[in-house]
């Protein structure tokens, strides 16, 4: 046991180093954004459909850590190490339950602890909050099922059911846990010589299976009432390619210490790029392992097919939920969809190791003799650990190539130093979050949980924006369209306390040079006001925005949602009188980035009078 705990300590030291050198990535920022946008214990927050995932436990952990220290990587890194420790201890426990304290237990334990198969899902916080509880759940429920089978004590059914509930709270794939546990118990019964292992397993562990069915039924009711079906129908043609890449370039090399090298195109995650020689050797090694197991052990014929079925099911789930015309096959090489297979393989190796020995054929005795086995095992262990450590090192180098680090660090400092003027929300850098993450790619969402920052508003008197490096820079409105000069003599477009916007050319409606489609736009309103007051600005199909105005000449930059041919303005303050001149209408860009030609493209000659 001391050796097992020492291996776990070494693993946590290595994984802790990877976590400490990592940072927030993609979905992590969505977790942070939602944590600052919703009450912690609300159903809207905990039961959110996150791209097909139902993960209230993960949201709860993310919400608590975000409230303690928003956008501070220290706490998420610590949470990953803690969850990894729980998963590793759970795997150790199930291996001890199967094998006792025999030294060979260290082989499947070391495979789980150091295989790069689980590394990418550990390093990515959002994925670790899914995968690590699943891995712990697989080991814990399987151990409790085995103990229930052996002892008949109902407390093992209660503990197993509780572990299943917790795992389901973090990841919907945890529905597989009872089935893995059932197969593991049945395989152990079969290797022990039980004539009807399936019937024996069903009867002996009936309290656990009955509890699991009730739990799964209740979970399914919640899942399908809150999550849209993630299944895709446009991905059948991609299945073969995804399965080939996921198995030959992902799963098998990682089981033997690979892939040794990784590639990455930010903002995508790293994916395994094993050399051809490693791919070939991995296939040869898995065949050798399976053949060697059957030469040495009896009654294990269903073990490796069960492992293969689990790995295939995991990859088919990836194909049916993530495949499609726009999906690159490299997604299968990211390993996160098959990471939990490491636990299943460790359990399978333990089941094989306790199976009865087979009489060795004379032709194989030189290779399988007791005398030669320690030297071969030591050589294989050294090769596996060396490959795994190198793969961990190369992954860490790629994982640290993360534009989010500099962007968020710089933006936090800039926002803290410039809290005087409200900011319009704008998309963050595309190197951090692509538009497909909308609305959580908005700066108001990502940085909303911060305490030291300016207010995010739909209007501001001074336009600034975060550039791609995270610096807060002066900005302007691009001339996608022009807000045209109104017809009121000496005023432009007039708005008074009792004016209501109805149509172009009528007081309160500022006409655009050309109509626009429904979208998120920014208008630069140049005005002259008789006093301080408040106006409402809106577009067709969008909500009104309340905008403060000040006495005299002024400018208000307003973020609007909607479309049409006008920007409609009405005065909220009863005795307010304003005149509006022309101005740009479009998107927010760094100052001095637009040219005079863009004004002409907008349908305006650029000669916009001031009010």
> Running DSSP on this structure, what letter comes out for residue 335?
-
pTM of the model: 0.90
CATH architecture entry for 477-601 = Sandwich (2.60)
Give CA–CA dist 363/605, Å, rounded. Answer: 92
Place of tokens 């899902």: 121
> Running DSSP on this structure, what letter comes out for residue 571?
E
Give CA–CA dist 515/505, Å, rounded. Answer: 15
How many angstroms from the chain centroid is the CA of residue 39?
A: 21
Task: Please give the structure tokens belonging to residue 144.
Answer: 């409790």
The DSSP bridge pattern shows strands 464-466 and 472-477 to be: antiparallel
Instruction: Using the Cα atoms of residue 37, residue 63, residue 77 and residue 125 in order, give the sign of their dihedral.
Output: negative
- Please name which of 265, 263, 250, 173 lies closest in space to residue 219, comparing C-alpha atoms: 173
Residues 6+ positions from 97 with CB-CB distance below 8 Å:
143, 146, 147
pLDDT at 319: 86
Give CA–CA dist 473/411, Å, rounded. Answer: 11
Instruction: Using the Cα atoms of residue 156, residue 159, residue 162 and residue 164 in order, give the sign of their dihedral.
Output: negative
Give CA–CA dist 170/533, Å, rounded. Answer: 49
pLDDT at 502: 37
Angle between helices 125-151 and 154-170 (to 10 degrees): 170
Long-range contacts of 193-197 (CB under 8 A, 24+ apart): 193/299, 193/356
Long-range contacts of 430-438 (CB under 8 A, 24+ apart): 430/267, 430/468, 431/266, 431/267, 431/403, 431/404, 431/407, 431/468, 432/29, 432/267, 432/403, 432/404, 432/407, 432/408, 433/26, 433/29, 433/30, 433/267, 434/267, 437/26, 437/29, 437/30
Q: What is the DSSP string of 247-270?
A: IIIIIHHHHTT----EE--TTSPP
Burial of 533 (0-12, 13-18, 19+ CB in 10 A): buried
Q: Average pLDDT of each block of 10 consecutive residues along the chain (611 residues)?
A: 95 97 96 93 94 94 97 97 98 97 94 97 97 98 98 96 98 97 97 94 97 97 89 68 92 96 90 96 96 92 96 91 75 94 98 88 54 74 95 96 95 95 94 91 96 95 95 96 90 76 55 95 96 95 95 96 94 92 95 52 40 35
In DSSP terms, 457 is beta-bridged to 424
> Rounded to 10 degrees, what is the CA torsion of 205, 208, 214, 219?
-130
How many angstroms from the chain centroid is the CA of residue 200?
A: 40
99 phi, psi to nearest 5 deg = -105, -10
Please state the domain extents for the chain.
2-23+73-399, 477-601
Q: What is the DSSP string of 115-137?
A: -GGGHHHHHSHHHHHHHHHHHHH
How many angstroms from the chain centroid is the CA of residue 118?
A: 15
């Amino acid at each position: 046991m001391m050796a097992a705990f020492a291996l776990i300590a070494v693993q946590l030291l290595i994984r802790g180093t990877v976590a400490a050198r990592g940072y927030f990535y993609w979905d992590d920022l969505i977790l942070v954004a939602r944590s600052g946008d919703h009450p912690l214990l609300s159903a809207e927050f905990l039961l959110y459909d996150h791209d097909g995932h139902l993960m209230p436990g993960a949201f709860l952990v993310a919400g608590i850590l975000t409230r303690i220290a928003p956008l501070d990587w220290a706490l998420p890194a610590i949470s990953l190490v803690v969850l990894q420790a729980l998963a590793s201890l759970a795997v150790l426990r199930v291996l001890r339950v199967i094998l006792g304290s025999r030294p060979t237990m260290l082989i499947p334990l070391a495979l789980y602890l150091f295989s790069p198969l689980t590394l990418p899902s550990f390093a990515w916080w959002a994925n670790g909050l899914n995968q690590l509880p699943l891995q712990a759940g697989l080991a814990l429920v399987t151990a409790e099922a085995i103990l229930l089978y052996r002892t008949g004590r109902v407390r093992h059914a209660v503990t197993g059911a509780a572990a299943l509930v917790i795992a389901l709270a973090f990841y919907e794939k945890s529905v597989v846990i009872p089935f893995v546990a059932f197969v593991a118990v049945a395989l152990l019964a079969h290797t022990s010589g039980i004539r009807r292992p399936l019937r024996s397993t069903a009867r002996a562990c009936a309290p656990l299976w009955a509890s699991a069915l009730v739990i799964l039924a209740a979970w399914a009711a919640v899942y399908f009432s809150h999550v849209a079906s993630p299944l895709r129908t446009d991905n059948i043609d991609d299945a073969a390619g995804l399965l080939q890449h996921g198995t030959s370039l992902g799963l098998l090399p990682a089981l033997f210490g690979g892939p040794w090298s990784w590639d990455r195109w930010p903002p995508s995650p790293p994916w395994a790029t094993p050399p051809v020689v490693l791919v070939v050797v991995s296939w040869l090694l898995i065949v050798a392992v399976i053949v060697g197991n059957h030469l040495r052990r009896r009654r294990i014929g269903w073990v490796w097919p069960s492992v293969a079925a689990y790995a295939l099911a995991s990859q088919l789930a990836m194909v049916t939920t993530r495949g499609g015309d726009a999906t690159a096959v490299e997604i299968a090489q990211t390993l996160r969809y098959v990471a939990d297979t490491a636990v299943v393989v460790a359990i399978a190796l333990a089941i094989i190791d306790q199976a009865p020995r087979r009489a060795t054929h004379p032709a194989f005795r030189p290779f399988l003799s007791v005398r030669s086995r320690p030297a071969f095992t030591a050589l294989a262990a050294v090769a596996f650990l060396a490959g795994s450590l190198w793969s961990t090192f190369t992954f860490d180098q790629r994982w640290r190539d993360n534009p989010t680090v500099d962007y968020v660090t710089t933006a936090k400092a800039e926002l803290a130093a410039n809290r005087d003027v409200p900011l319009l929300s704008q998309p963050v850098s595309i190197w951090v979050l692509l538009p497909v993450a909308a609305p959580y790619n908005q700066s108001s969402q990502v940085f909303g949980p911060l305490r030291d920052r300016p207010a995010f508003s739909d209007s501001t008197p001074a336009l600034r924006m975060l550039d791609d490096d995270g610096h807060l820079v002066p900005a302007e409105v691009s001339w996608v369209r022009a807000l045209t000069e109104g017809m009121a003599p000496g005023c432009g477009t007039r708005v008074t306390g009792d004016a209501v916007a109805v149509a172009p050319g009528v007081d309160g409606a500022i006409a655009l040079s050309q109509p626009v489609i429904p979208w998120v736009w920014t208008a630069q309103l140049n005005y002259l006001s008789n006093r301080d007051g408040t106006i409402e600005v809106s577009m067709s199909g969008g909500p009104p925005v309340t905008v403060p105005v000040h006495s005299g000449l002024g400018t208000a930059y307003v973020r609007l949602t909607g479309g049409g041919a006008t920007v409609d303005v009405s005065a909220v303050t009863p005795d307010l009188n304003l005149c509006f001149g022309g101005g740009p209408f479009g998107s927010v860009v760094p100052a001095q980035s637009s040219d005079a030609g863009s004004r002409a493209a907008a349908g305006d000659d650029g000669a916009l009078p001031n009010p």
